[in-house]
Amino acid sequence: MSATRIETDSFGRIEVSGNALWAAQTERSRRFFAIGEQTMPLALIHALAEIKRAAAETNGELGLLDPVKAEVIAAVAARVAAGEFDAQFPLSVWQTGSGTQSHMNVNEVIASLASQALGGGLGSQRSVHPNDEVNLGQSSNDIFPTAMHVAAVLASTPLLAALADLRAALQAKAQAFAGTIKMGRTHLQDATPVTLGQEFGGYAAQLSIAEQSLRHALPAVHSLAIGGTAVGTGLNTHPEFAARAAHKLAQRLGHPFKVADNLFAAMAGHEPLVALHGGLKTLAVALTKIANDIRLMGSGPRAGLGELRLPANEPGSSIMPGKVNPTQVEALTMVCIQVMGHDLAVSLAASQGQFELNVYKPLIAANLLDSLRLLGDAMNSFREHCVEGIEVDAARVQALLESSLMLVTALTPHIGYDRAALIAKHAHANGSSLREAALSVGGVSADEFDRWVDARLMLRPQ
């Protein structure tokens, strides 16, 4: 094949690499939007290809597209969706706000592949038209947001699996640590006792709440903008096209996709994706708290709390021999901060656009898909390389429990708040044990103290 070839579109002629399957519209975008290094997510490209496959099959069934071409377009679209031609999608995220250029990138590549399959060539020799045939009954304004929803739903599946696995790992630790009594802490100060199992059970419950938020948002994401074409009216589309194509997507991909009840809302706004990303932000908030607790309980090993032993996966310092750091916690919490930032960007982007179209679609898609992938990967890594290997330093936990002044709370029902506070202050000021302070201050016998101040009895209502 020659080093270059000439492609033509409504703006005229343009030179394209001879090895490229794309055509003029893709090439113009590649040249005019050389912005940053972020290319359109492949998950979105694959979703577009799945839609093209369903559209070609539907148009063939409706008699709108030559059946042979419909079959070939569907076949090559399936190959694109499977990732066989990922190198043919070079366009930047930072392009037109409707995603038209990446949409046409998919149309042009599929048209070239279909043309070759039918014995044609590229450029002027192409026998399948990217607009008239691959894009029949479609517009970027309805197909790109449809792809955003399809890609988001598909990417949610591994994320929810990772979330379930991490929750199960935390619950397993809750059961394993059920008998380990330790000091609770509020305001980073000593509080009354809890079990380590209660703490880890709380972490698992936090993730359950975050999961509920995500699952509550997903049904709206199953509603697709397909069929709205340019402005939501469905101009140039067969009345049965959208429902048939959505049904094919649902059957093939295993999710309950359907045409949105209101296509104007589906194209002009992206509230379902905002809600889904809001669930990801909720998850990021919960994960940050959980990870930081584990980081603090594992701090040390000598000068920190040291209640937990975290897995030592790699050296932690280039200068301090033997140092080990909570690196899985650090990676997870950095991901969570990134997701929180993405959430602000998604929210602002979804508030933009005018009248019948939101024109920040690539930004929303890129950030949402990035958040889904990052959180899923980070939860898997955190579970596998940190949570599952956590051990308890029982001696350290017991020593901290026995030295805590907040066990004095158990005396309050018997001797009152003020006298109990006096005992705690006396113990702190004199460096004595709580028991020694109680006997010194008076009003509590040794037998009473031993009966009343029992950490095991402070774990539940009495």
- Residues with catalytic function: 187, 317
**3-state class (DSSP) for residue 382:** helix
CB 386 within 8 A of CB 305: no
How many whole angstroms separate alpha carbon 235 and alpha carbon 233?
6
CB 152 within 8 A of CB 272: no
CA distances in angstroms from 409 to 33, 192, 406, 448, 449, listed in the order given: 66, 7, 6, 14, 12
CA distances in angstroms from 412 to 298, 407, 416, 424, 436, listed in the order given: 32, 10, 5, 11, 17
Alpha helix (H) residue ranges in 298-393: 327-350, 361-385
Phi, then psi, of 326 in degrees rounded to 5 = -80, 65
How many whole angstroms separate alpha carbon 142 and alpha carbon 275?
20
Phi, then psi, of 453 in degrees rounded to 5 = -95, 85
Query: What is the separation, in whole angstroms, between the first and last Cα of the chain?
Result: 84
What does R_g of the chain's alpha carbons equal in angstroms?
Answer: 30
Write down the residue that tokens 């519209």 correspond to: 25
Q: What is the DSSP letter of 361?
A: H
Q: Measured at the alpha carbon of residue 162, what is the angle toward residues 159 and 168, in degrees to the nearest 5?
A: 140
Residues 6+ away with beta carbon under 8 Å from 38: 92, 93, 94, 366
User: 163: phi > 0 → left, psi -120 to 50 → alpha, else beta; which?
Assistant: alpha
